[in-house]
Every structure is written in structure tokens, then in C-alpha cells.
Amino acid sequence: MTTIRDATFDVLRSHELTTMFGNPGSTEVALLTDLPDDLNFVLALHEGSVVSTAVGWALGNDTPALVVLHTVSGFGNAVGALTTARENRAPLVVLVGEQDRRHQAQRPFLSGELDDLAGGYPVSVQHPARPGDVPSAVARAWHSARTHRGPAVVIVPMDDWSAPADETGTVNSPRKLTRATTADPEAVAELVELVDASDSPALVVGAGSDDERTWEALAVLAERLRCPVWQEPFGSRAGFPQDHRLFAGHLPANRSRLREALAPHDAVVAVGAPFLRQYPYERGPLVEAGTRLAIVTDDADEAHRAPVDLALLAPPGSVCELLTTRVRERAEVVETPKRRQERLPVPENGRPLRPGHVLTALADRLPAEATVVEETPSSRPELHRALPARQPLGFLSAATGGLGFAMPAATGLRMARPRRPVVAVVGDGSSLYGIQSLWSAAQYGCGVLFVVLSNGRYAIMDRLSENQGGKAPWPGFDQVSVHGLARSLNCPAARVDSPDELTAALDEVVPSLPDRTEPFLLDVTVAAEAAYEP
């Protein structure tokens, strides 16, 4: 007899969903026991790490990843990571186990309200009405995740997997769905008019332009317009080569400073980026009066909420290619703001190291093709200045700002691209939200370099409290040994607190990154400071 489990496995194979990420529970045992040899299960030790590892894998492969979560408790634990997956444009198919259909009316142990648990963050939520609908629901979830670039959830009662499959074997979903990748030239005409009417345009880029096609087109477009290219505030991925002469840096997330940065420009076009989203509330407009605004995105929600004069819903790469042949070429040369920081002098006795020392040492050694995964809020401005992204997917961070993303995401990304150097730079406070992911990195041979900037406190939160004119009520945690935790999770680790120890460790590990089959954590003692720049 062909079961729903068998039929679903066939759907997974046809959609290349043969690697699943999970932390199993009893409601998934019927699905997972005796997996066929061509299906792989990757274990993470917490559901947040499950989802974030899958995000790294999905972004690295540019295809949906498969996640398996355990009923209310597992799904609930994963919600924060699922919000990050949505904001990071990561396509995920998420199977959530549920109690047996036959006694759900009695609200049995391990049951609960699943449909709305993640709010509006899933791109779709399906709760099949009968077992025979499960394979079709999984196929539709794959298309939904790929089309809308986010987590698509399918809730499956545990007894469905052993039920007989429909005799027809029909899957109510397209076997193949092809998306147009070329923009309509007529639709681009109004944007050409807006740009050509300006005397001093500027471009703003984001995660939606982080691919080779769009990078190349944007570089040509920027040269043709002789205009600066800014990275969006709080960008989760680099949308432009950040070592390009026209790259102007990262826009501030403070309205007065944002207006100051964009004041010289009478037209601002955002490409693949949420339009100038902010963090601290501040009165006043985003830009000076008279500046025309436009957005180019293939994300309808992003277009709908953009406060712009013109929103163009189309593939950014294709739009930029058309613009390079249609906008008028400018002759004047623009001056971009100075963005690289001066090298910090090493302290006389070598201690304490500052985050800038560590980031500069990394910058001196990392190859252009490296991916830097960031989760160090207090040092992020310094990281951006020291480590510009030089190739697509050169930078990755959590779009929501939630902690616990970087370590598992770096692990998943290395799984997807086993020859690409991957370095996660995290604060010690941030590391404790996803420290268990080091076990998965070690277990599955992911040669990631984890650099932990250990100041023994939540430095960014201390700085925010100081900005409020008060004192933080939370204690430090300098007694926590991050490298000790790493070793307990079978991840090789070392503690360094001097420049010589730092450079010796990096000189040994960085050259090995393309070929490494085990992770390494470098726990670096740094001064407790916070370079907070809203």
C-alpha cells in the first residue's frame, strides 16, 4: 500500500527537498523513522537554530529548504526565527506535526492552536482537511515559499502519514512553475522619466538586489549616472559591491541624519530594499522637500508600504539592465563620502583589544569571496567599514534584528556552499542565543570560523540605557566561557586576548577555510564599548 508518507516523499524528491532540518518530537516520528537513503535529516538542538540553519542553506542554494517542527512547543520556539526568515526573503517549506486527528476534539496532550501561531509571517499556512490532501499541500507550499520568498507552513496530524494515498495519485499543484525574469520596457518608461528629470540622483540598495545579475547592472547604472549608491539602513544583505568607488556607505536609521545624507539629491531610487526604514522614531520627513522617490522591487508588500512617488513591481535585475540603456548619461563626477575607518593603533601593552582591531585583522586576511555573517550590534558600524562585501552574498545578517541567527545561519550557508569561506562575527551576548548550533556545525562537518567578540556584557543595551540618561538594571556575564561552551558542544575553540595571539590564530585558520571540515570558534576578549549609530 502506498501511504501519504510515500506520496509526500515523492513530492519532496520532485521538488529537490531532500534535506530536512529539524528537532524531532513524537508527532513527527511516523514521518522520520526509517527515512529512505536519498533523504537527509539534519539535527539542530533548538528550533530557532533549526530554522536559521535552514535559512542559511536556502539562501546559499537559492531554493526552498525543508523544515520539520514539533507541534505547538516546537512551532512556538521557532516563531522568532520564522519572522527573520520572512524578512530575510528565505524560502522555507515548514512541516509542523500535530496530534492524531481522531481525538483532537478532546484537546489531547501536545495539541494546541497552530494555524495562527506565527501570525502573518508565514507566506501561507495550510491545514489539510484530510490525509489525502497532504502531498498537494506540500507541493503548493514549495511554490508559495519560492514565489513569496518566505516560510510556507503545512500542519500535518501524526496519523496522516500512515493513511493510504489517493488512488489517483494526483497532486493538485503545477509540476513546474516558471516566473518571468524580464521587466516590461513600457513599465520602466516612467522611472526613466523620473531619473532623467533629476540633476543629482542617488541609488539605495538592499537584500533584493543581492545577486550577480543585479550587482552587475547596478554597477553599470551607477557609472552611467555618476551617482552614489547607498546601502539601506539595517540591511541584511549587501546589494552592491561595497568596494566600488561609487559606494557611499550605509544610510543612517535616524531621520535627521538620513535627510542630511540624502539632501544633495533630488531623486532617490531604492532597488530591492524596503524604502528607508527607520529604527528610533523621530519627527520629520525622510528626505528634504522636493526630492522625488521611487522603489524597484519584486516584493509586492514592500512596494505597497513604500512612501514614494513611483513604485515599480518587477525583477530588479531586469529593470536595472533596461535603465542602463535608457537613462541619460551624466558627465559630472560625484564625490562619495569617506567610508573606510582609520586603522586603530594597537595599545602599548597589547590589551585591551577593541572590536576594530579584530575586524581589521580579519579584513587583512579574508578573501573577496568570503561571506561575513554578522550579529554584533555594538560593533556593526565598525564591521561595515572594515569588511565591505565584495561579491554577492558577501554579507548576511538578520533582517529583523532578532538574536540567535548568525551562528546557525552560517552553518547552513556553509552546508549549501561547502567551498565558500564563511565567517560569523558575533557578540558574546548574541552567541548565547544560538550557541547550541555549534554542535550541528561540528556534527555535519561545516568549516565555519566563528569569531566571538567577548566583552562580558550587553554593550549595545548599556549604551541605549545611557542614551536614556539612566543605568541598566542587568548584570554583566563575564564569568561565562563561550569557548568552554563551544568545546562542550564538540566545536574546537580557543580564547585570545592579545594582538599576537589574535593574528597567530587568524593566520592559521583563515587560509584553511575553503577546505575545512570542522568549525572553529575564536573567543576574543575585547573592551566593553558600543559604537551605536542610529
CA distances from 445 to 416, 491, 492 (A): 12, 10, 12
Q: What is the mean pLDDT of residues 379-384?
A: 91
| Domain contains 530 | no
Res 414 pLDDT > 60: yes
| Same domain flag for 419 and 457 | yes
Domain boundary pick from 162, 194, 221: 162
| Same domain flag for 78 and 14 | yes
pLDDT one-digit tens code per residue, 389-403? 999 999 999 998 889
pLDDT one-digit tens code per residue, 81-106? 999 999 999 999 999 999 888 887 78
Domain boundary pick from 101, 127, 162: 162
| Same domain flag for 150 and 257 | no
| Domain contains 147 | yes
| Same domain flag for 479 and 384 | yes
Q: What is the CATH number for 382?
A: 3.40.50.970
| Same domain flag for 409 and 479 | yes
pLDDT one-digit tens code per residue, 225-244? 999 999 998 889 999 999 99
Q: What is the CATH number for 237?
A: 3.40.50.1220
Nearest 10 degrees: Cα torsion 490, 495, 500, 502 = 60
Cβ burial, residue 399 (10 Å; 0-12/13-18/19+): buried
Res 252 pLDDT > 70: yes
| Domain contains 46 | yes
Phi-psi region of 202 (alpha: psi -120 to 50; beta: other; left: phi over 0): beta
Q: Please tell me the predicted confidence (pLDDT) of residue 336.
A: 66
- Domain span at residue 40 reads 4-162
End-to-end CA distance of the chain: 61
| Domain contains 346 | no
CA distances from 341 to 238, 331, 370, 518 (A): 19, 29, 20, 33
Residues 6+ apart with CB under 8 A from 418: 446, 447
pLDDT confidence bin for 182, thresholds 50/70/90:
confident
Q: How many domains does the chain have?
A: 3
pLDDT one-digit tens code per residue, 169-179? 668 778 777 77
| Same domain flag for 120 and 219 | no
Q: Please tell me the predicted confidence (pLDDT) of residue 343.
A: 63
pLDDT confidence bin for 463, thresholds 50/70/90:
confident
Q: What is the mean pLDDT of residues 297-304?
A: 91
Res 341 pLDDT > 70: no
Q: Please tell me the predicted confidence (pLDDT) of residue 168.
A: 62
CA distances from 199 to 20, 278, 320, 334, 439 (A): 52, 26, 19, 12, 55
| Same domain flag for 156 and 192 | no
Question: How does DSSP assign 55-117, residue by residue?
Answer: HHHHHHHTS-EEEEE-HHHHHHHHHHHHHHHHHTT--EEEEEEE--GGGGGG--TT----TTT
Residues 6+ apart with CB under 8 A from 129: none
Grid cell listed for 339: 567610508
Res 386 pLDDT > 90: yes
Q: Please tell me the predicted confidence (pLDDT) of residue 88.
A: 94
| Domain contains 168 | no
| Same domain flag for 364 and 507 | yes
pLDDT one-digit tens code per residue, 32-41? 999 999 999 9
| Domain contains 171 | no
| Same domain flag for 513 and 391 | yes
| Domain contains 57 | yes
* pTM exceeds cut of 0.85: yes
Determine what percent of the chain is predicted with pLDDT higher than 90: 74
Q: Please tell me the predicted confidence (pLDDT) of residue 211.
A: 95
Distance of CA 9 to the CA centre of its chain: 28
Q: Please tell me the predicted confidence (pLDDT) of residue 476.
A: 77
DSSP state of 24: -
| Domain contains 194 | yes
More confident position, 496 or 457: 496
Q: Please tell me the predicted confidence (pLDDT) of residue 533.
A: 56
| Same domain flag for 97 and 221 | no
| Same domain flag for 281 and 381 | no
